[in-house]
Chain A
Amino acid sequence: MASAGRIKRKFRELRARGEAALIPFIVAGDPDMDTTRSLVLELEARGADLIELGVPFSDPMADGPANQRALARGLGAGASLAAILSMVSELRAQTQIPIILFGYFNPIFHYGCERLCADAARAGIDGILTVDLPPEEAGELKRPARANGLDIIYLLAPTTPLDRSRAIARSASGFLYYVSVTGVTGARAHLDAGLGAHMRELRSVTDLPIGVGFGISTPEQAAEVATMADAVVVGSAISLLIEAHIKSGDVREAVGGLVGAMKHAMKAARGAGRAAAAGDCDG
């Protein structure tokens, strides 16, 4: 049986330690299921706090080129929902890291919402994030998810009005995922200058942890976001690293290195932030 709030517990622990969560996104089956399995364990060892497992779909309309290619590789490797659940089920003997399925609705709908939620909970999945399933359409997934103790993670975007963010937050659980750019997934040279202000605004409408993703690719960016948000999601940068290291066979070291550096930078930034705040009080 799954979770009963593994995500909630994780954020509580992190908050107590004054840390922001690092959430790597890896496409299941990129480039094969064995690599994905070993990556989950490696990334946990390097400081990942939660894992988003990308579920391959033939038509990923909210993803940029890097994730499109990663999802196509996963599809080619046979990363079906059934194969992913069976992998997670095996991984649960070795790790209790919260795992979220991240994908598009059609494969889930086709599998059957009821059956998927029951099977996912049994396998040890903790939450589901479906890019193209806004709260207005989420009823058929949300009911069985709730009955099986799974969190439904919703997206908030820069275009989402505050009233709508409030309403979405009210029906969400686990955490909220703020899409930091008006655009599809993929690395950006610069973070949105208004991110801090936007985070403060969102804080006023919810007590749920807020994660930020889309476009974060370097330890420096991760560190900056860690000072404003409860979690940092990194996706396309990992897909690109995997792509670049498939031939040489050192995907694990490469991705592990990035995740380790990101977590290190995030901790340092939070520490520095606290020190600066303490300094301010003294002065």
Chain B
Amino acid sequence: MQNVPNSRGHFGQFGGKYVAETLMPALFELESAYKQARRDPKFRDELAHRSREFVGRPTPLYLCENLTARLGGAKIYLKREDLCHTGAHKVNNTLGQALLAVRMNKSRITAETGAGQHGVATATMAALFRRECEVFMGSVDVERQSLNVFRMKLLGAKVTPVEGGSKSLKDAMNEALRDWIATVRNTYYLIGTTAGPHPYPMIVRDFQSVIGREARRQILKHEGRMPDVLVACVNGGSNAIGLFFPFIKDTGVRMIGVEAAGLGISGPHHAATITTGSVGVLHGNKTYLLQDELGQIRETHSIAAGLDYPGVGPEHSWLKDVGRAEYTSVTDAEALDALKTLSETEGIIPALESAHAVAHAIKLAPQLAKEQIMIVNLSGRGDKDMQTVAKAFGVTV
């Protein structure tokens, strides 16, 4: 496998820096600050220290004995990112980038958020490092994720509802970019997923790769060998790339990304970008997108607010095109079933996003031999989704 991205931020034909000129110098500045930080032992030590003491790493790699026995196939391990501080893998990236913001002397940190997990993880770091914080969030998401809005405000962040377009994650990202165009001199824009212009997809991947590095070490300790299959949910794709990246050169390891099929990929109500989309340019990079025949971006649907974006990280587009990773999709109903199954069999309530990965694992495990090993990234915990899930099951809470 070649090393990506190249110096211009390209993953094959994907990636790049498709932004307004005002932001170009800021992207060069960020890239150079990041490269220096990466080589600086003090930066690496602080990242490791805070990851351990504040985030709670390493997270366990947990063997699901009950689920494995019930399905009668491959051994299923969960990488427990739901046990990270703030309840999801998002914090791995916000910690790393917040340390960069401090290093670059930026007094203000901004973020876009969909479900609110990245917003909470950013607001957390802004509180810790005493920075001003503003989070952009589609007004529809503000409504349906009111608990996370409250958490962000409690952490001292300003939450700005975005009324444009479909009033969800892509519009929050548009508004965060617009804000950055005006405030670039004092503001660090903390992108939450492996999308956006170079160097963000690379930076987010590198900070999330702690997931795969730990999992690799842990599975060798538990099993004395490499896993056969990795499964993670994909939209922007940060938890998936975090798990996959340290295994990319281990070509015997299958990597499967699971997208949101919503109400079904034959209709318009889904967010299965790689599975059904076409190549285009949005939010600073070239990648697979859900768009119409004129290149206008389509609205998406998923029961998981964190999978409700019409693009995907450029590295995933590249992994798909070179055939190193496979991508499939799971419907809202299948994800809900998986959430229930994991809760009942293992005593773990997954986030709706992570439930997509669990749903595919449940389909795949029985087809594999008992000696085979599967690692599923449990990227977040389900507490935030209880109202949505209750509503889907017809329960009033």
Known: A58-B165, A61-B283. A159 touches B174 (CB 8 A): no
- Checking A106, A136, A160 against B25 with a beta-carbon cut-off of 8 angstroms, the contacting residue is A160
Closest B residue to A60 by beta carbon equals B174
- Checking B8, B291, B295 against A111 with a beta-carbon cut-off of 8 angstroms, the contacting residue is B295
By a CB distance below 8 angstroms, the chain A residues around B170 are 59
Does the CB pair B295–A137 fall under 8 Å?
no
B287-310 contacts to A (CB < 8 Å): 289, 291, 293-297
Does the CB pair A81–B18 fall under 8 Å?
no
Does the CB pair A132–B20 fall under 8 Å?
yes
By a CB distance below 8 angstroms, the chain B residues around A158 are 22
By a CB distance below 8 angstroms, the chain B residues around A56 are 296
By a CB distance below 8 angstroms, the chain B residues around A155 are 20-22
Mask for A45-63, Cβ within 8 A of B = 1, else 0?
Answer: 0000000000011111111
Judged by a CB distance under 8 angstroms, whether A144 is at the interface is no
- Assembled-state Cα–Cα distance A118/B170 (Å): 32
Does the CB pair A109–B281 fall under 8 Å?
yes
Write the nearest CB–CB distance from A81 to chain B, whole angstroms: 7
By a CB distance below 8 angstroms, the chain A residues around B20 are 61-62, 131-132, 155, 157, 179
Judged by a CB distance under 8 angstroms, whether A154 is at the interface is yes
Does the CB pair B25–A68 fall under 8 Å?
no
Instruction: From A81, A131, A156, A184, name the one whose CB has the most chain B CB atoms within 10 angstroms.
Output: A184
Mask for A153-179, Cβ within 8 A of B = 1, else 0?
Answer: 011111111001000100000000001
By a CB distance below 8 angstroms, the chain A residues around B182 are 181-184
By a CB distance below 8 angstroms, the chain A residues around B293 are 110
Does the CB pair A134–B281 fall under 8 Å?
no
Does the CB pair B284–A132 fall under 8 Å?
yes
Judged by a CB distance under 8 angstroms, whether B80 is at the interface is no
- Assembled-state Cα–Cα distance A172/B291 (Å): 31
- Assembled-state Cα–Cα distance A161/B194 (Å): 28
Does the CB pair B280–A137 fall under 8 Å?
no
Closest B residue to A82 by beta carbon equals B294
By a CB distance below 8 angstroms, the chain B residues around A64 are 178
Judged by a CB distance under 8 angstroms, whether A133 is at the interface is yes
By a CB distance below 8 angstroms, the chain B residues around A136 are 8, 16-17, 24
A72-112 contacts to B (CB < 8 Å): 75, 80-81, 104-111
Does the CB pair B17–A110 fall under 8 Å?
no
Judged by a CB distance under 8 angstroms, whether B204 is at the interface is no
Task: Count residues of B near A (Cβ-Cβ below 8 Å).
Answer: 38
Give the dominant DSSP class at B's interface.
mixed
Closest B residue to A158 by beta carbon equals B22
Does the CB pair A159–B18 fall under 8 Å?
no
Known: A59-B282, A68-B164, A134-B19. A160 touches B291 (CB 8 A): no
Does the CB pair A61–B24 fall under 8 Å?
no
Does the CB pair B8–A80 fall under 8 Å?
no
By a CB distance below 8 angstroms, the chain A residues around B8 are 136
Does the CB pair A182–B22 fall under 8 Å?
yes
Known: A58-B297, A107-B296, A132-B281. A182 touches B21 (CB 8 A): no
B20-77 contacts to A (CB < 8 Å): 20-26
By a CB distance below 8 angstroms, the chain B residues around A110 are 278, 280, 291, 293-295
Does the CB pair A61–B178 fall under 8 Å?
yes
By a CB distance below 8 angstroms, the chain A residues around B281 are 104-106, 109, 132
Write the nearest CB–CB distance from A180 to chain B, whole angstroms: 11
Known: A80-B294, A107-B295, A184-B182. A59 touches B21 (CB 8 A): no
Judged by a CB distance under 8 angstroms, whether B348 is at the interface is no
- Assembled-state Cα–Cα distance A106/B18 (Å): 10
Does the CB pair B294–A182 fall under 8 Å?
no
Does the CB pair A182–B18 fall under 8 Å?
no
Closest B residue to A68 by beta carbon equals B164
Judged by a CB distance under 8 angstroms, whether B368 is at the interface is no
- Checking A107, A111, A134 against B24 with a beta-carbon cut-off of 8 angstroms, the contacting residue is A134
Does the CB pair A106–B185 fall under 8 Å?
no
By a CB distance below 8 angstroms, the chain A residues around B26 are 159
Instruction: From B22, B164, B171, B178, name the one whose CB has the most chain A CB atoms within 10 angstroms.
Output: B22
B101-142 contacts to A (CB < 8 Å): none
Judged by a CB distance under 8 angstroms, whether B333 is at the interface is no
By a CB distance below 8 angstroms, the chain B residues around A65 are 164
By a CB distance below 8 angstroms, the chain B residues around A57 are 295-296
Judged by a CB distance under 8 angstroms, whether B274 is at the interface is no
Known: A106-B281, A132-B18, A159-B26. 14 other contacts (CB 8 A): A58-B165, A59-B174, A59-B282, A108-B295, A110-B291, A111-B294, A132-B20, A132-B281, A133-B18, A155-B21, A157-B21, A168-B21, A179-B21, A182-B182
Across the A-B interface, give the 8 residue pairs with the lowest CB-CB distance, nearest first.
A110-B295, A183-B182, A157-B22, A107-B295, A155-B21, A58-B296, A62-B20, A61-B177
Provide 19 A-B residue pairs closer than 8 Å at the C-beta atoms, listed in order of the A residue: A59-B165, A59-B171, A59-B282, A60-B174, A61-B174, A61-B177, A62-B177, A63-B178, A64-B178, A80-B294, A81-B294, A106-B282, A107-B296, A132-B281, A157-B25, A160-B22, A168-B21, A183-B182, A184-B178
